[in-house]
Chain A
Amino acid sequence: MTILRLNLFFLVLPALVYIVGFSFFPTIYAVYLSFQSPHGGFSLANYRELIYFNVGGAIVDTVLVTVGALLLQLAIGFLVASVLTREFFGKRVVSTITIIPMGVATVVAAVTFSFIFQTSGGYANTLIHVITGGSVNWYSSSLSSLLVVMVADSWKNTPIVSLILLAGMTSIPKELYYSAALDGAGPIRRFIHVTLPNLRSFIGVALILRGVQEFNIFALPLILIGDHPPLLTTLVYNLYTTTFPEVGLALAAATVLLGFILVFMGVVIKLTGGKE
């Protein structure tokens, strides 16, 4: 039996070594460097400087975007999944089309949405202009700018969430719904008491997969809002330069980002009861 276990371990080893070697060590090194002073020794100077660069604001905005985008994706994902559990005319078409955004490159989605949402003009405003004669500056406030990022990001990423939720929903035995209906529960109560609890681990998977990627979104905000307002990733990018000691600042911001991701993962795993 031990020989079998050893064999198994060797099977896993290539992948493990590869990933650990190539991402783990640079990560640790980067974190280590962020705490180094250019004259040698431990120092929090980089982190203190981050405060001048409004890292607090970047943190808040990053959390906002992550939470907002996740909520949006869950909501639309549930809608799509609910629709797709039913049988109806044209279902094939709908289920095909809902997958398409997965195939659109992030850069392309970003460019397209940047033409849709502009400070004055743009496709969204064409519609509004026709109806009301006015136009909306989609980037007039931090919040609205973040909203644009959330919408663009959710468009691209809802399909995978809906796929996961659909997989979960189809595995819920219909009997549970029937007996709930017999007990007099309407659609909403059935959703809350039958669907949601059984989807707990699926929602967890969706949250972890998407959540980590949400904290890391980069190309979309870079193209859509630049750094007005900055997110942690765009902040890192702005501060990034390869000369030492200047690079310490960017690495500090990146470490902050990493910290948040770790906390986030911990919370989600706790709330959704792990992978069992």
Chain B
Amino acid sequence: MQSVIIPQFEKQYPNIKINYVDESATDIVKSVEELEMSGSVGPVIIGEDNLVIGELLNGGYLMNLTPVANQIMANLSLIPSMDKLVSYERTVYGGIFFIPLRGNIPLVWYNATLFNQMGLTPPQNWSQLLQEASIIKQKTGVAPIMFQGHGGASTYTELYQWMVQAGGNPFLFNDSGDVLAFQYLYNLSQYFTPGYVHGYWGSYKGLLSGEYYMIDYQWPYIYSVMASEGVNMSHIGFYPGPAGPANSDHLVGGDVLAVPKGATDLPDLIIFAKFLLSPEVQREFIILVSWPAVNQQAYTNLPSNISALYKAEEEAMSNAFFREPVPWITVWGQIADNVFDTIIVNHAPYSQIPQILRNANQEMYNYLLKNYNSTVAQQYEQGDFGPLYG
């Protein structure tokens, strides 16, 4: 971003200078809050995680972009999943408050060389995954699977997808799909590499050093990182991952553009937004940093080595859903982390899994009751909040 794309913009528009800021999703929320509370925002446009944007939206911190949305999105053909996200916005929030900037979809990565040697093909469903993990462990003595078990956003984001693939509504914790997912993960965890408790968004280096042989799941940007560190990419295999018992849907992450309320210099912000959404720049997203673009036109004529990665991403995105950006999602996440720690990391007895999940549901319900109101709590319990398919 900083070294290529920003200079390009500044060259094209010499009157506009960009101050580029790289922050984590939750830090952006804090920063925007601080700006809003201080009363002097300035010319600020943000690219925020599409999950966390809900906090800003519900806090009333975002500018309503509906009047200028047509301007920004003129000539923009969004990929289907992002199109649906914008429709959702219009329906639920009555206007446009954020515009998709880039997508992000988790894939499964594996050590292709080892798989070839052992005559294995990437597992196509959950039982195959369990089987192959067991075979690898038997033959090599290594527990082969890396999971994002560090805790925090990376863990509960990953859990969300596993629960959806088992047919559950992740927010509820204890519907049949959710319980199934945790029971499966419990069994799969015997094949987790010991380092999974530190597994996070950047974990990949054990794939080639023999520490583990599969990463379920990781974001595609590690492709660029590995390539830049001189890794021989022919050893690396990737694919959308095994299908769950109910579906093989994937969680779409990524960033959206939004403008804090009270920001100044809107025309310049719009120019910058259009620039970022243009086919040329979106194409650079794909090639330089392995970010799935939201602009359809960016996908024409990609270089061949990138297109393999893109194909996997496209396949994964064919059935995509978003986490509904409710304001209490971080609390849900904290409870989810806690459940994960209790069941998987601390290995509670298998028979207790349903009870533990019931407690989690209770905890979330009580939280909503106390901090919001009984209507919200009711809606929660009825399953009104859940994954968005647009």
A residues near B (Cβ < 8 Å) are: 37-38, 45, 49, 52-54, 118-121, 137, 139-140, 225-228, 238-239, 241-243, 245-246, 249
Contacts and interface: CB of A to CB of B under 8 A. Distances in A.
A146 B370 CA distance: 35
B197 interface: yes
Contact of A246 (B151, B209, B330): B330
B26 interface: yes
B33 interface: yes
Given A49-B367, A120-B211, A242-B33, A226 B193 contact: no
Contact of A228 (B335, B338, B345, B367): B345
Contact of A238 (B29, B33, B334, B367): B334
B235 to A, nearest CB: 18
Contact of A37 (B29, B195, B370): B370
Contact of A53 (B197, B200, B338): B338
Range of interface residues on chain B? 20 to 34
B137 interface: no
A120 B363 CA distance: 36
A118 B334 CA distance: 26
A120 B327 contact: no
B331 A227 contact: no
Contacts of A239: 334
Interface of B: 26, 29-30, 33, 55, 59, 150-152, 193-195, 197-198, 200, 206, 209, 211, 327-328, 330-331, 334-335, 337-338, 341, 345, 359, 363, 367, 370-371
6 contacts: A52-B338, A119-B195, A121-B209, A228-B198, A238-B151, A245-B371
B29 A241 contact: yes
A263 to B, nearest CB: 27
A120 B194 contact: yes
Contacts of A238: 151-152, 334, 337
**Centre residue among B59, B337, B370 by max chain A CB count within 10 A:** B370
Contact of A242 (B29, B206, B370): B29
Given A121-B209, A241-B26, 10 more contacts: A52-B338, A52-B363, A53-B338, A119-B197, A139-B198, A228-B198, A238-B334, A243-B29, A245-B371, A246-B328
Contacts of B151: 226-228, 238
A108 B345 CA distance: 28
A228 B197 contact: yes
Given A49-B367, A54-B338, A227-B151, A241 B193 contact: no
Contacts of A38: 370-371
A118 B150 CA distance: 14
- For the complex of A and B, the 8 pairs showing the least CB-CB separation, nearest first, are A119-B195, A119-B194, A242-B30, A228-B197, A245-B371, A226-B150, A137-B194, A38-B371
